[in-house]
């Protein structure tokens, strides 16, 4: 019993460290973008990420959360075939929906820039962001499945650390090694595609899903029915986190969005010790 408790504490500390590292990686990325590209560029990036995230939530249809629950159940029972079946069907479905939403967003980029954010200079970056919608959607599916098969460290890496660490390193490499300034939105999208591919390969290999889906007691269409209400719940959580950025982007310009985003990040530094205390107390 004591051994189990010690193992649990070690796992908790490891995940806590990764979560803090993810927060720090986001702060470093903000510092890189604002120092080398200015606060306005961070405002542009924030609005592009807002659009990507909104469309991603819609294109996933709640399958990421639904798969988290069902995959964890099948993994506990050793039903690898069921995991393979639901994962592959869901990935193909999300690939189709996210690509369709991305195409529509790409076409509407000019209207979004002009009539929602009132900034014509956003069109190019919004179109780049639209191209990243399939990547961020597929990564959401795979990351939750890695979490379901108890690879929580990799879930935190793909969801919190990698998406800021990789673009940050790429931007610094471009500035100091290549002496060029790369578009942060473009680099972020490329990093998402890279992580989505690597995460997919990792999930297929580490979950050892090779058997025939004869163990499935739930079709992926039924899973979609489960996911729809979860999509509504995810949308509420999403609005809670992004409504302030949207309102500032709607009424003010991208410079104010960038300044607010940096100030908000700095204020959240105070939440790091609170996160540590709450996590340790919950254990």
Q: Kindly list the distances between the CA atom of residue 174 and the CA atoms of 169, 171, 179, 183, 223, in Å, as whole numbers in the listed order.
A: 9, 5, 6, 10, 43
What 3 state SS string does 117-140 have? CCCHHHHHHHHHHHHCHHHHHHHH
Q: Rounded to an integer, what distance in angstroms lies between the CA atom of residue 77 and that of residue 35?
A: 50
Res 10 pLDDT > 60: no
Average pLDDT taken over every residue of the chain: 82
Q: List, for residues 79-127, the tens digit of each pLDDT value.
A: 777 787 888 888 899 999 999 999 999 999 999 999 999 999 999 999 9
Average pLDDT of span 199-204: 87
- Residue bearing the bigger pLDDT, 206 or 205: 205
Token code pair at residue 137: 């959607």
Angle of helix 39-60 versus helix 123-131 axis, rounded to 10 = 40
Residue 82: the pLDDT is 76
- Residue bearing the bigger pLDDT, 74 or 255: 255
Res 158 pLDDT > 80: yes
Question: Would you say 46 and 124 are in contact if contact means Cβ atoms under 8 Å apart?
Answer: no
Residue 150: the pLDDT is 79
Whole-structure pTM value: 0.84
Q: List, for residues 25-67, the tens digit of each pLDDT value.
A: 888 899 999 999 999 999 999 999 999 999 998 898 888 888 8
pLDDT band, very low/low/confident/very high, at 2 (cuts 50, 70, 90)? very low
Average pLDDT of span 199-211: 72
């Amino acid at each position: 019993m004591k051994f189990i408790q010690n193992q649990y504490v070690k796992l908790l500390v490891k995940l806590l460290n990764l979560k803090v590292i993810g927060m720090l990686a986001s702060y470093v990325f903000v510092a890189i973008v604002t120092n080398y590209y200015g606060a306005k560029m961070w405002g542009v990036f924030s609005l592009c990420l807002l659009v990507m995230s909104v469309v991603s939530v819609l294109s996933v249809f709640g399958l990421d959360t639904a798969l988290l629950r069902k995959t964890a159940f099948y993994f506990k029972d050793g039903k690898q075939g069921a995991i393979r079946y639901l994962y592959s069907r869901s990935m193909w479905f999300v690939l189709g929906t996210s690509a369709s939403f991305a195409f529509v967003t790409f076409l509407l980029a000019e209207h979004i820039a002009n009539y929602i954010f009132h900034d014509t200079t956003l069109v190019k970056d919004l179109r780049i962001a639209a191209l990243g919608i399939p990547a961020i959607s597929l990564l959401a599916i795979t990351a939750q499945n890695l979490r379901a098969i108890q690879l929580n460290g990799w879930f935190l890496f793909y969801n919190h650390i990698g998406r800021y660490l990789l673009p940050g390193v790429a931007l610094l490499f471009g500035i100091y090694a290549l002496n060029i300034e790369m578009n942060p939105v473009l680099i972020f999208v490329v990093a998402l595609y890279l992580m989505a591919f690597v995460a997919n390969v990792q999930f297929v290999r580490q979950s050892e899903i090779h058997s025939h889906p004869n163990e499935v007691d739930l079709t992926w269409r039924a899973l979609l029915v489960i996911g729809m209400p979860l999509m509504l719940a995810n949308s509420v959580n999403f609005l809670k986190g992004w409504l302030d950025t949207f309102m500032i982007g709607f009424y003010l310009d991208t410079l104010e969005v960038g300044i607010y985003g940096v100030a908000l990040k700095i204020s959240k530094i105070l939440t790091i010790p609170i996160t540590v205390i709450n996590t340790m107390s919950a254990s």
